[in-house]
Every structure is written in structure tokens, then in C-alpha cells.
Amino acid sequence: MSSVLSLFAPVEADLELLSQNLKTLIGARHPILYAAAEHLFGSKGKQLRPAIVLLMARATLPNQDITPRHRRLAEITEMIHTASLVHDDVVDESILRRGMPTVHSSFSNRVAVLAGDFLFAQASWHLAYLDDLQVVKLLSEVIMDLAEGEIQQGLNHFDATLSIDAYLDKSYYKTASLMANSVKAAGVLSQAPEPLLDNLYAYGRHLGLAFQIVDDILDFTSSDAVLGKPAGSDMRQGNLTAPVLYALEEHPGLEGLIDREFSQEGDLEQALEMIDNSQGLAKSRTLAAHHAHLALEALQDLPASAPRQALMDITDYVLSRIH
Ligand code: FPP
Ligand code: MG
Ligand code: MG
């Protein structure tokens, strides 16, 4: 499996600068936020989202350097993503993220809610100062979509009648909208023509869907140690993802266990066994591969370059996490 960091080689220096800038931008205002910023941006996350934005910036400007506005867009993307995770960890009561204590567990819920709000607000401010109305529209829609995805997921808790299409809609809001709209915004800043912008959006959308489906598969197949939480936790908390929805088609008995929210002894184990003895995981892999393939196809009209190759390889990397 190729390491994701080696895929980011064409933007390695850009990502280094991004980490520095994020700490300065966020930390300058308040000591607690400085601590939170150190905590959030110091702990080498994968920086997948800003890496994709920077790669798309370079892929759409093959013979020129990227602009400070492209860099700011990548920073805004990471701020929005991080803000959503700080709030998500409060909502999900998660103690660890990437093996590190979450902001609310290190500080308090109050600090985490305010730190998340501050990050969203600051991202919006920097977005406005990019002074490009189309980019403002794309990224402000992302913030709305993140909230929408979280609300839909909350409303659909333990709803065994959820369709795969509704699951994909929710996954678009929760994960793919950020990738789709931010890579399209990179193209807008590069003054790419409209038909190409549609392809960039499609790349981000399909990559994001593949990424979320893979994440949902890993929740069942990875060990507790790798996940940092017990396998099957999404389902136990009522978040019904592709493997469960497909398994429900083969095992109607699963519905009863979900309806009573796994409240009886052995319910969860029985449900996990039904999923194992179904095509749920295999069908989910096929669905992820389908979206990864559509993401790859969307890059066809971009001129050949090292950043474009990296964007293509990322579609394989996303799938390689489940093999
Ligand atoms: C991670 O999902 C969470 C998200 C991708 C988005 C969370 C969005 C919010 C909490 C809404 C943001 C609020 C505003 C004001 C816009 P997960 O919990 O499935 O994954 P995890 O395992 O990484 O926690
Ligand atoms: Mg969570
Ligand atoms: Mg969540």
C-alpha cells in the first residue's frame, strides 16, 4: 500500500507552510485557542482535505505557481473540517481522536463548543476576504451541509427502513460536500472553465462518497486498537451505514434487533454475526469502488501533470484502506 504521505509529494512544502499558518492564524487571538490550535493542528493529521485542494490548485495551473489565495482556501478547508470534528466529538462524546484526547475531554464541553464556533467564524471571515463571491457561495454551502448531514444522521438513528440513497445523501452532506466544493473552489481561483469545474466537483463528490463508505466498512472490519473505539460502534450508536443496510436485505431479523436498539444481552453480537454472514461488506466495497472509479474518470480532461497523477492515485489509496 502506498503511503498517503508519498502521494502528497507534489504539495509537501505547501502542507508544511499550511500547518505553520494555521497555528499562527488560530492561535494569535486567545491563549486557550492557542492551546487548542496546538492540539488540533500540531498533531499531524493526514491533512487529506487541504492536500487535495492544493493538488487541484497545482493541477489546474500546471505551468504556474499557485497563488496565496489558493493557500488560504486550503487553510479555510482545514479550519472548517477541524471545527466540525471538534463539535462532532462533543456530540458523539468521543474521548480520543487519532489517539489524542479530544478538545472537550482535555478542556471542557464549553471550551470545545466555543472553539468550534470560533473556527467556523474565523473560516467564514477568511473566506469573505478571499473576495470571490463564487468561492464564498461554495464554501458557505459546505458549512450548511455539514450541519444538515449531522441533523439527518441524528434523525435517522436506529431507523432500519433507511434506504441506501438516503445514506448516500447523508454521506454527501457529512463528508463529500467539503471535498466537492473545495476542489471546485480551487478551480474557480485558477479561472478554470465551467465544464472543467463540473468535473472537479464530481471528483470531490465521488472521492468523498468512496471515502465515507470505506470509513463505514472499517468500523466493522478494523480491530478496536486500530479504530481507537470498539468495532461496530457506529451501529451500536444507531448510525446505520452501508454494510448494515445491505445486510438488512438478507436478514430481516436484524430489523428487530435495531428497533429495540440492541437493548438485550447478546443483541449486538448477533447483529454483527448477521452482517458477517451477509453480502453487506462485499456490496459496500463494490459501492466504494464504483465511486472511486467515477472520481478517477472525472479527472480525464485535466492536463497530465504530477499533481493530477497524485489525485488519480488518491482514488486507489482510498480503496486500499480496506484491503
Ligand atoms: C465525523 O463523523 C463528523 C463530520 C464529518 C461532520 C460533523 C459535523 C457537525 C458536528 C456539525 C457541525 C456544526 C456546525 C455549526 C456546522 P463521525 O462522527 O461519523 O466520524 P468520527 O469517527 O471521525 O468521529
Ligand atoms: Mg464522531
Ligand atoms: Mg459523528
pLDDT for 2: 47
Amino acid at 234: D
Query: Domain 10-320 class?
Result: mainly alpha
Closest atom, ligand 1, to C-alpha of 144: 16
Whether the per-residue pLDDT at 241 is higher than 80: the answer is: yes
Q: How far is the CA of 120 from the centre of ligand 2 (A)?
A: 18
What is the Cα–Cα distance from 101 to 83, expressed in whole angstroms? 16
Query: Which of 88, 220, 234 has most ligand 1 atoms within 8 Å of CB, for mutation?
Result: 88
Model confidence at 96, pLDDT cuts 50, 70, 90, reads confident
Q: How far is the CA of 322 from the centre of ligand 2 (A)?
A: 20
Q: How far is the CA of 271 from the centre of ligand 2 (A)?
A: 21
Residue 101 β-bridge partners: 96
Give residue limits of the domains in the chain: 10-320
* Arithmetic mean of pLDDT, 269-283: 96
Question: Which residue's C-alpha comes closest to atom 8 of ligand 1?
Answer: 84
Q: Could you tell me if 245 and 279 are in contact, meaning their C-beta atoms sit under 8 angstroms apart?
A: no
Closest atom, ligand 1, to C-alpha of 90: 10
DSSP for 78-147, written as a single string: HHHHHHHHHHHHHHTT--EETTEE-HHHHS-HHHHHHHHHHHHHHHHHHHHTT--HHHHHHHHHHHHHHH
Model confidence at 222, pLDDT cuts 50, 70, 90, reads confident
Is ipTM > 0.85 here?
Answer: yes
pLDDT for 4: 75
Q: Write out residues with Cβ below 6 Å of ligand 1.
A: 84, 87-88, 91-92, 94, 120, 143, 146-147, 150, 174-175
Q: How far is the CA of 65 from the centre of ligand 1 (A)?
A: 33
pLDDT tens digits, 160-204:
999 999 999 999 999 999 999 999 999 999 999 999 999 999 999
Model confidence at 76, pLDDT cuts 50, 70, 90, reads very high
Q: How far is the CA of 4 from the centre of ligand 2 (A)?
A: 22
What is the Cα–Cα distance from 79 to 124, expressed in whole angstroms? 10
